[in-house]
Amino acid sequence: MNPSAAQTPPPTADRQAVIVAITGASGAAYALRLIQRLAQSNVFQHILLSDASRVVLKQEVDLSLPENTAATTQALAHHLNIDATSMRCYSLKDWFSPTASGSAGIKKMIIVPCSMGTLARIASGMSDNLIERAADVILKERRQLIIVPRETPLSSIHLENMLKLSNMGVHIIPAMPGFYHQPKTLDDIINFLVDRMLDHLELSNPEAQKWGM
């Protein structure tokens, strides 16, 4: 039985859809802001959360999510004050999820924040959970994968994994906010990076500050 069947059905082919994967690196606030902004753009979101991401969400933004995936969708939507019918969460072993197969036709995936563990497993093609499998599908189908890695300092292993994926066309947007826009608040810093993610997803982003404009 498909464990996500109780949730909103996936969108029809004419609605843009994005896979948003959240892993256990620091920077959960980036993921939450991105989900909020994508909901405003009427993009359907397939959301994948690693177990470690749930620990980080609790630690960094005091958000506890339930185990059950339908309840997770509701809790996330409630926390972000967005429409729950514009998104769907999946368990990491839900191999019936549309994110697990190229035939579903989902064109874009972003992993934010991306832990060094998930980065390494994707770079070596492990496909052992739904985040790794979804990324593997995007890569084999030569679609768009964006990774927002976060660690400091970076080891040669981390750098080699990023180079390997970059050479395959993956967009690497490190969680390295700039300060030349003179941020006044934490929100300004978060938005700076989320704007770059939306630019790379090629989604309408009128709020983004553009250099020289």
- Residues lying near ligand FMN in the complex (CB under 6 A): 23-26, 50, 52-53, 55-56, 59, 115-118, 150-151
Residue 135 C-beta: closest distance to ligand FMN, Å: 11
Residue 54 C-beta: closest distance to ligand FMN, Å: 9
Q: Which is nearer to ligand FMN, 77 or 131 (CB)?
A: 131
Residue 166 C-beta: closest distance to ligand FMN, Å: 17
Q: Which is nearer to ligand FMN, 9 or 66 (CB)?
A: 66
Q: Which is nearer to ligand FMN, 86 or 132 (CB)?
A: 132
Residue 132 C-beta: closest distance to ligand FMN, Å: 9
C-alpha 162/C-alpha 181 separation (Å) is 27
Residue 100 phi, psi dihedral angles, 5° rounding: -90, -5
- DSSP assignment of 140-174 equals HTT-EEEEEE--SSPPHHHHHHHHHHHHTT-EE--
> Is the CB of residue 130 less than 8 Å from the CB of residue 51?
no
Find, among 51, 97, 47, 52, the residue nearest to 77 by Cα.
47
Residue 22 C-beta: closest distance to ligand FMN, Å: 8
3-state secondary structure of 17: strand
Q: Which is nearer to ligand FMN, 161 or 191 (CB)?
A: 161
The radius of gyration of the chain's CA atoms, rounded to the nearest angstrom, is 16
Residue 156 phi, psi dihedral angles, 5° rounding: -65, -30
C-alpha 24/C-alpha 44 separation (Å) is 23
Q: Which residue is nearest to ligand FMN (CB)?
A: 24
